[in-house]
Amino acid sequence: MHDPTDNTTPLWVVTGPTASGKTALALELAVRHGLEVLSMDSMAVYRGMDIGTAKPSVDERARVPHHLIDLVEPRETFDTARWCDAAAAALDDTRRRGRGVLFVGGTPLYLMAFFKGMMQGPAADAGVRAELEERERTSPGCLWDELSVKDPVAAERIHRKDLRRIVRALEVHRLTGRPISATQDHFEREGWARPCRIVAVQRERDDLHRRVRQRTEEMLDRGLLAETETIERSGGFSLTSGAAIGYAECRDFLRGRYKDREELRNRIRRNTHQLIRRQTTWLRRLREIVWIAPEAGVHGLRDALSG
């Protein structure tokens, strides 16, 4: 291992689409090399959202210290800038203690913002946001349709239920006359603002679909609906947390929008497959990423990260 306190030492990052098996591989690597995990999952920051985000178990956290999990309540607003600040603080803390870290997670925007740098966009405009949100309340789905016309690249990357990011994308377009995807062009540049080595785990499509089916069944069997109801009763969801796959569909089910639990399962699976496609599209843009199959195992992951 390199000196973890050296700012020039490339940071190790393990990513990949949902259900690829990246977390299990990364955990084993962290155990073997005495690393602490910095979660790069945009929904694991919310307390109480445990089942649907597949957070590490109590036993796993006992084996390996985890950071950037359970930072805020589901009703709170939490964005990429706040995560980057929290990640920088956690990284500084581990370095002061002489510990090595492993960034692990499947949120490409967090990865790119932290390692490539945050985009410089216009400040939020409360009036524009209020107008857009009111339009969405009046005609659900209209904002994503508008974004598909004005910025199809952004629409491809943003889930249609992720109202916070949709509103931000349309806000940027309104205020600057440019699509938000164009303001993120620094993501396309070679090199990193922070030195890093990134490995992505990818499975064959049929294998991923099988794992998504199994994952969905397990989450529902473990009480995803009850967890969603508990959050709704204790403060509810923000625009961001409420768009999380699994929770968004459970909220719709609890409002009577699906005919039965079979439709609920199918909606979660379909939306998870769409998320996997978006994650893969984002990650494939980064030519520096090394892709491995899960069969490569911990040794293959270690070799890929070591370069």
* Domains in the chain, CATH or no CATH each: 11-119+185-306 (3.40.50.300), 126-183 (1.10.20.140)
- What pTM was computed for the model? 0.82
300 has pLDDT over 80: yes
Amino acid in the structure at residue 228: T
Q: What gap in Å lies between CA 155 and CA 146, rounded to an integer?
A: 9
Higher pLDDT, 249 or 282: 249
CA-closest candidate to residue 42, choices 301, 288, 242: 242
Q: How many residues does the chain have?
A: 307
Share of the chain above pLDDT 90, in %: 66
Judge whether residue 196 has pLDDT over 90.
yes
pLDDT digits 0-9 by tens, 235-264: 999 988 999 999 999 999 999 999 999 999
* Mean predicted confidence (pLDDT) in 222-246: 95
Confidence of residue 119 (pLDDT cuts 50, 70, 90): low
Reported as a single tens digit per residue, the pLDDT across 74-103 is 999 898 889 999 999 999 999 999 999 999
**Residue 177 scores a pLDDT above 90:** no
Residue 279 has pLDDT above 90, yes or no: yes
Q: Which residues of 254-264 are buried (b: 16+ CB within 10 A; e: fewer)?
A: eeeebeeeeeb
d(CA 70, CA 93) in angstroms, rounded, equals 18
Query: At residue 75, what are phi and psi to the nearest 5 degrees?
Result: -75, -10
Contact status, residue 86 vs residue 94, Cβ threshold 8 Å:
no
